[in-house]
Amino acid sequence: MRLLSYQLGSCVRAALLSQEQWVVDIAAAYERARRAGTGFRLVNLPSAVLELLQMWDVAVEELRRLQEWCTGREMELHADAIAFPVQEVTIVAPLQPRSLRDGYAFRQHVEAARRSRGLPMIPEYDLFPVFYFSNHQAVTGPGPVAVQLRHLERLDFELECAIVIGRPGKNIPAAVADRFIAGFMIMNDWSARELQAQEMKLNLGPAKGKDFATSLGPWIVTPDELEDRIIPGPNGNHYDLQMQASLNGEQISQDRLCNMTWTFAQLIERVSYGAWILPGDVIGSGTCATGCLLELNGTGVFSPPRWLQPGDTVELTIERLGTLRNTVVLASEEAQY
């Protein structure tokens, strides 16, 4: 099942992707299905993805029933402005997260990035999965990503996978943590490398080098869609999915999600130690191997180095999860109040 958000006038509404072609409005379709007397259990379903996640254990079963009911009825629903061809709607970020954390789970990327700066690998990397908090209020979906002038000083993308939490928990062991995942998304952790390098000399951050934009999308894919790609283990599942990035139509990055050193379950275990995780929290994997210009420049793939400029289009693709496409645009420097 693929869950997304789309723009309808001035409102953002939750939808299902049906048969890869149709965006079906969840709240409106559920109301129609209930009137048809098809045995749905709830009075209604919310029109926002975050509200659906807050009742996920109940909502997910109703959503599966709804998707089954909608399949084959898309043209009928389209006539009543309940379903729309996917190319005719504006898809936005699947949700505005309650919180946004990002991990550091691909060892190969960490090694390569440190090697390019003349630094050895740190042994502490193998002790526990580390993460940082990013700006959950600066999340975008597919489409333009506005940056300031100083962000263009070595502007970079990062190819990542993210999970969204579907049930609350605290002190969750990795052995059961996969049960808390409502779904998976593609994540682009936009990075202003010059700002990042300056501020991290103070041994704090990343801050302004990261907090201006994170792109998520194009939709949330539920775990059942990935069952045949699971590699189970005592510390949670790995997922054997191809990852790749393209810049202006040229493929420049490739890895597999199963190459994560730390699993999402281990990230959840670490994140939830002494702290509640809640439905709608998002946790990123960290950058995969070759998944950013910093690494590609540092390892000599590009010489002279390449960095992003206004007008550049970055496409991140993860098998089964889709493609997240963004174009860099320059924002105004004027103060806003």
Question: 197-221, pLDDT tens digit by residue?
Answer: 999 889 888 999 999 999 999 999 9
For the cut 80, the answer to whether the pLDDT of residue 67 exceeds it is yes
What average pLDDT does the segment 135-156 reach?
A: 98
Question: Is the preceding peptide bond at 206 cis, omega within 30 degrees of 0?
Answer: yes
Shared domain check, 173 and 50: no
- CA gap 168, 188 in Å, rounded: 25
What's the total number of domains in the chain? Answer: 2
What average pLDDT does the segment 10-22 reach?
A: 97
Shared domain check, 305 and 282: yes
For the cut 90, the answer to whether the pLDDT of residue 226 exceeds it is yes
Q: Measure Cα distances from 206 to 28, 141, 200, 300, 307 in Å.
A: 42, 22, 6, 25, 19
pLDDT score, position 90: 98
Cβ pair 155, 272 in contact under 8 A: no
Question: 227-250, pLDDT tens digit by residue?
Answer: 999 999 999 999 999 999 999 999
Indicate whether 39 belongs to any domain: yes
What residues have CB less than 8 Å from 207, skipping those under 6 apart? 199
pLDDT score, position 286: 98
Question: 295-333, pLDDT tens digit by residue?
Answer: 999 989 999 999 999 999 999 999 999 999 999 999 999
> Domain range for residue 80?
2-92
Instruction: At 154, give phi and psi (nearest 5°).
Output: 70, 55
Cβ pair 279, 49 in contact under 8 A: no
- Beta-bridge partner residues of 277: 169
Question: 165-179, pLDDT tens digit by residue?
Answer: 999 999 999 999 999
For the cut 90, the answer to whether the pLDDT of residue 39 exceeds it is no
What average pLDDT does the segment 110-121 reach?
A: 84
Which of 43, 69, 92 terminates a domain? The answer is 92
Shared domain check, 218 and 161: yes
- CA gap 309, 304 in Å, rounded: 15
What average pLDDT does the segment 20-43 reach?
A: 93
Question: Is the preceding peptide bond at 304 cis, omega within 30 degrees of 0?
Answer: yes
Shared domain check, 194 and 50: no
Q: Measure Cα distances from 281 to 64, 106, 168, 258 in Å.
A: 22, 21, 10, 22
Q: For the stretch 153-181, what's the b/e string if a residue is b when 16 or more beta carbons lie within 10 angstroms of its beta carbon? A: ebbbbbbbbbbbbbbebeebebeebbebb
Q: Kindly report which listed range (8-12, 180-184, 233-237) carries the lowest average pLDDT score.
A: 8-12
pTM above 0.95, yes or no: yes
pLDDT score, position 179: 98
pLDDT score, position 38: 73
Tokens of 16: 């299902």
Cβ pair 253, 68 in contact under 8 A: no
Sign of CA pseudo-dihedral 47, 50, 55, 56: positive
pLDDT score, position 150: 98
Q: Given pLDDT bands bounded at 50, 70 and 90, which one contains residue 113?
A: confident
Shared domain check, 245 and 224: yes
Closest by Cα among 47, 68, 48, 53 to 1 = 68
Indicate whether 253 belongs to any domain: yes
Indicate whether 34 belongs to any domain: yes
What average pLDDT does the segment 183-189 reach?
A: 99
Closest by Cα among 165, 161, 101 to 318 = 161
Q: Given pLDDT bands bounded at 50, 70 and 90, which one contains residue 112?
A: confident
Shared domain check, 185 and 87: no
- CA gap 97, 138 in Å, rounded: 10
Indicate whether 336 belongs to any domain: no
Question: Average per-residue pLDDT in the chain?
Answer: 97
Indicate whether 337 belongs to any domain: no
CATH number of the domain enclosing 265: 3.90.850.10
For the cut 90, the answer to whether the pLDDT of residue 37 exceeds it is no
Cβ pair 280, 143 in contact under 8 A: no
What average pLDDT does the segment 267-291 reach?
A: 99
Shared domain check, 245 and 129: yes
Shared domain check, 245 and 118: yes
For the cut 90, the answer to whether the pLDDT of residue 138 exceeds it is yes
SS3 189: coil
pLDDT score, position 314: 99
SS3 2: strand
